[in-house]
Structure 1
Amino acid sequence: MSQLLSPESRIRTTGETPLPGALPEALRAELIAFRRDLHMHPELGHQEFRTTASLRARLEKAGLRPRVLPGGTGLVCDIHPGGGPADDGVRPMLALRADIDALPIPDTKTVPYRSTVPDRAHACGHDVHTTAVLGAGLVLADLARRGVLPHPVRLLFQPAEEVLPGGATDAIEAGVLEGVGRIVAVHCDPKVEAGRIGLRAGPITSACDRLEVSLDGPGGHTARPHLTTDLVTAAAKIVTEVPAVLSRRVDTRAGLALTWGRLEVGHAPNVIPQHAELSGTVRCLDIQAWRAAPDLVHAAIDEVATLHRAKFEINYIRGVPPVVNERTTAELLRDAMVARRGAGSVEDTEQSLGGEDFSWYLEHVPGAMARLGVRPPGDRTPRDLHQGDFDVDESAIAAGVELFTAAALLDAVRE
């Protein structure tokens, strides 16, 4: 296999660790083609069989030995100094994590690589995350064969990030963190320009849970609401009053927010219904408040529903805690990007209310997530994730590869 490093590029060094320069054009083109193929064939959580097979084939072509996770989707692949199949077992690995699943929404873009699967799209950038980790793995494997990889690295391609409570929990149970000392990841951000990353130490995403509530009563005629349980009013009061109650029972700095997304009740204007359903999300910026949230939400709904004589059932579906970037790892990512692209390539970012199951890994090992810029330079058009027209400036792939590669090499220097 040919070298993956441009022979004409300068080699930056930190201590004794070489940092490869710009990616060769052939590798850039291959990675863009790989990303476009993933984009054309999106697969939902726990259904990523084609994606897994594509990754496995490319890693095996590079001489690596990927292992498919239980369930048949997702995989892990270790890269050891010297390019051998096993390490001495002493040095902890740095894990580079990517999520590989897509979303159940239609792709509305008019591009040659538009999704070929109806009502399925990579509208959150997981195809970019996956390609960046793959590209970093190819570069690091090349360094290992040349005897200049000083530190073992694990590539982790995780399924089902979009499925609560996230495929990370199954991956952890399968042992993907065994031997891992630190873990890093990126998430596409259309507000950040391609070629840059957004970063912060501490919380960078929100906790996110799902809430489903069923209300029941005897029903009756709207002429005689005093003789029955007015479920329409009960549901309306829960929608408006429960968030207000929570705001007075949790420190406002915790950012606990219950937001309803669905309310179904009644079918006729003169009939008080017997059943109502509500569902929404509970988001929280603080991990301690997140842990207390189920009991607080249940108590608030109990009070309001009981006041209106409505029977209720609550299904509180635990999602993910907030991603809390460990400071040392966040500094590693910052230094890696600066070493590759200069001080202007890193910007501070705010904590978002989006959820990410990368947080589950951080319950076990230190780590950090960076926001990978995907906005075309100079483009000020407002864009967001989880939209059918979501797309990226594909130069972001090379930036992600360089970030991961430099982080793997700099992490060895800091041991």
Structure 2
Amino acid sequence: MPTLVERTNACVDELTDELVDLRRDLHAHPELSWHEERTTGLVAKRLGEAGLATRPLGGTGLLVDIGENPGPVIGLRADLDALPVEDLTPDPWRSTIDGVAHACGHDVHTAGLVGAGLALQAVAADLPGRVRLIFQPAEEIMPGGALMSIRSGALEGVSRIFGLHCDPGIDVGHLGLREGPLTGAADSLDVRLTGKGGHTSRPHLTEDLTFALGKLVTELPAVLSRRLDPRAGVSVVWGLVRAGSAMNVIPAIGRAAGTVRMLDAVAWADAEHLVRETVGQIVEPYGVTPEVIYVRGVPPVINDHASTVLLGRAIEAVVGEDGHLSTTQSLGGEDFAWFLEHVPGAMARLGTRTPGGPTYDLHQGDLRVDERAAPIAAGVLAAAAVQALAHARGNPPA
């Protein structure tokens, strides 16, 4: 008799074409954080057709519980939102929304979780517990939708949780996994300077805000690299630097904004205070006044041992042992980390590169994924839930 994982795999195989079509539909109709109305509705409609009841998560996003048997509850999470990036791909299903694109693979995550839910519903009567699907909005902003989801009850009763994230540096059919930290902590930083402006011929009569802004942009990363343990891997990168509108006028206002990232959760706890203190010290000699807007974004994703083992088994059950790869920690931020602050769990990197094809980068408008990734995601998530339920009941791998 086939095992539960074999049965969910067979169900996903039957859904392959549908999941590819769903992913294309989502890709063509991307929605920004907190505005994922169409995406939420599409997911709810398809799962409702399979007999699953959905519960809203705030304004967008939803929860779905599968199974009625007593036992543990395992969470599976996908994120719904897209990015404010122009879609530069030539595909027929390219974004139909100007300036918005699924340039991080959340369309694949969502289609994958829908497929996992349909496969798990097909075996729901035999599940030794329940599975909760968490379709989370607003992963791409700080603070993101994970915290709202938790406040809305997404983790009530959940004993373990799993997720996947697209990785265009890994071939499709392979997934990267590691125990311990997988991503970095990430915060947003926005520094606004004000001071007396004037003519560039008389900088001594001004507070030369542009010069102060230049010192801030170069000195803050340098100072933090000396004030924090180098093993923390702190990285301050500016995405916006702006001041002035004429070459012979020293402006009265300026702005620098970017991200503060690091590998270490302990250093992350001290980062905000240190950044605020250092910004003030850097600009003080120039007489300008800083306003620091610092938003704590996400801690590192830290995969616990048991969940990593279970997710590894699920990967091997779907793509084979050769498809289970080790991976390294990155400085990318991911608000799945907030779920792991409350319950144990693990995240893996889902390969989306066509073997032999180009390597793309996330958050770029030219990102293209090998569409076989969506059904693979569905199979792995479903298998992870089945493995975790068996483990919780003290049974051998299902």
TM-score range, shorter chain: over 0.9
Looking at structure 1, the residues matched to 81 and 164 of structure 2 have their Cα atoms a distance apart, in angstroms, of 15
What does residue 127 of structure 1 align with?
A: 107
What does residue 78 of structure 1 align with?
A: 65
Secondary structure of 2:283's partner?
A: helix
Q: How does 1:334-413 map to 2 (within 5 A)?
A: 334-379=312-357, 381-413=358-390
What does residue 4 of structure 1 align with?
A: none
Q: How does 1:305-324 map to 2 (within 5 A)?
A: 305-324=283-302
Paired residues of 1:97 and 1:184 also in contact (CA < 8 A): yes
Paired residues of 1:99 and 1:129 also in contact (CA < 8 A): yes
Secondary structure of 2:363's partner?
A: coil
Looking at structure 1, the residues matched to 182 and 345 of structure 2 have their Cα atoms a distance apart, in angstroms, of 12
- Letter in structure 2 aligned against 1:175: G
What does residue 6 of structure 1 align with?
A: none
- Letter in structure 2 aligned against 1:160: A
- Letter in structure 1 aligned against 2:323: S
Cα offset for 1:30?
A: 1.0
Structure 2 counterpart of 1:216, from 194, 213, 234: 194
Looking at structure 2, the residues matched to 164 and 179 of structure 1 have their Cα atoms a distance apart, in angstroms, of 26
Cα gap change, 1:321 to 1:314, in 2 (>3 Å): same
Greater Cα shift, 262-271 or 235-244 = 262-271
Cα offset for 1:338?
A: 1.2
Q: How does 1:149-168 map to 2 (within 5 A)?
A: 149-168=127-146
Q: Residues 171-230 of structure 1, C-alpha deviation per residue, up to 9 Å, x if partnerless?
A: 111011001001100000001111110111111111111111111221223233223211
Cα offset for 1:269?
A: 2.6
Cα gap change, 1:164 to 1:220, in 2 (>3 Å): same
Identity %: 51
What does residue 51 of structure 1 align with?
A: 39
Q: Residues 350-390 of structure 1, C-alpha deviation per residue, up to 9 Å, x if partnerless?
A: 111111111111111111110001111222x2211111121
Q: CA RMSD in A?
A: 1.5
Cα offset for 1:23?
A: 4.4
Structure 2 counterpart of 1:113, from 62, 69, 93: 93
What does residue 396 of structure 2 align with?
A: none
Looking at structure 1, the residues matched to 18 and 333 of structure 2 have their Cα atoms a distance apart, in angstroms, of 31
Unaligned runs of at least 5 residues, structure 2: 393-398
Cα offset for 1:271?
A: 2.4
Secondary structure of 1:78's partner?
A: strand
- Say how many residue pairs are matched: 391
Looking at structure 2, the residues matched to 252 and 374 of structure 1 have their Cα atoms a distance apart, in angstroms, of 32
Cα offset for 1:282?
A: 0.4
Paired residues of 1:151 and 1:408 also in contact (CA < 8 A): no
Looking at structure 2, the residues matched to 242 and 24 of structure 1 have their Cα atoms a distance apart, in angstroms, of 50
Looking at structure 1, the residues matched to 75 and 5 of structure 2 have their Cα atoms a distance apart, in angstroms, of 19
Cα gap change, 1:346 to 1:371, in 2 (>3 Å): same
Paired residues of 2:263 and 2:300 also in contact (CA < 8 A): yes
Secondary structure of 2:227's partner?
A: coil
Secondary structure of 2:383's partner?
A: helix
Q: How does 1:52-67 map to 2 (within 5 A)?
A: 52-67=40-55
Q: Tell me, yes or no, if structure 1 residue 232 matches structure 2 residue 220.
A: no
Looking at structure 2, the residues matched to 370 and 413 of structure 1 have their Cα atoms a distance apart, in angstroms, of 20
Cα gap change, 1:24 to 1:206, in 2 (>3 Å): closer
Looking at structure 2, the residues matched to 235 and 333 of structure 1 have their Cα atoms a distance apart, in angstroms, of 47
What does residue 119 of structure 2 align with?
A: 139
Looking at structure 2, the residues matched to 335 and 179 of structure 1 have their Cα atoms a distance apart, in angstroms, of 24
Q: Tell me, yes or no, if structure 1 residue 39 matches structure 2 residue 27.
A: yes
Looking at structure 2, the residues matched to 309 and 340 of structure 1 have their Cα atoms a distance apart, in angstroms, of 62
Looking at structure 2, the residues matched to 296 and 227 of structure 1 have their Cα atoms a distance apart, in angstroms, of 31
Unaligned runs of at least 5 residues, structure 1: 1-9
Cα offset for 1:232?
A: 1.6
Secondary structure of 1:368's partner?
A: strand
Paired residues of 1:219 and 1:271 also in contact (CA < 8 A): yes
What does residue 3 of structure 1 align with?
A: none
Cα offset for 1:52?
A: 0.9
What does residue 272 of structure 2 align with?
A: 294
Cα offset for 1:347?
A: 0.7
Q: Residues 14-39 of structure 1, C-alpha deviation per residue, up to 9 Å, x if partnerless?
A: xxx55334446541111111111111
Paired residues of 1:19 and 1:409 also in contact (CA < 8 A): no
Cα offset for 1:164?
A: 1.1
- Letter in structure 2 aligned against 1:108: L
Looking at structure 2, the residues matched to 340 and 276 of structure 1 have their Cα atoms a distance apart, in angstroms, of 53
- Letter in structure 2 aligned against 1:323: V
Structure 1 counterpart of 2:159, from 162, 181, 204: 181
Paired residues of 2:72 and 2:389 also in contact (CA < 8 A): no
Looking at structure 2, the residues matched to 152 and 213 of structure 1 have their Cα atoms a distance apart, in angstroms, of 47
Secondary structure of 1:19's partner?
A: helix
Looking at structure 2, the residues matched to 266 and 58 of structure 1 have their Cα atoms a distance apart, in angstroms, of 52
Greater Cα shift, 166-175 or 100-109 = 100-109
Q: Residues 319-352 of structure 1, C-alpha deviation per residue, up to 9 Å, x if partnerless?
A: 1111111121111111111123221011111111
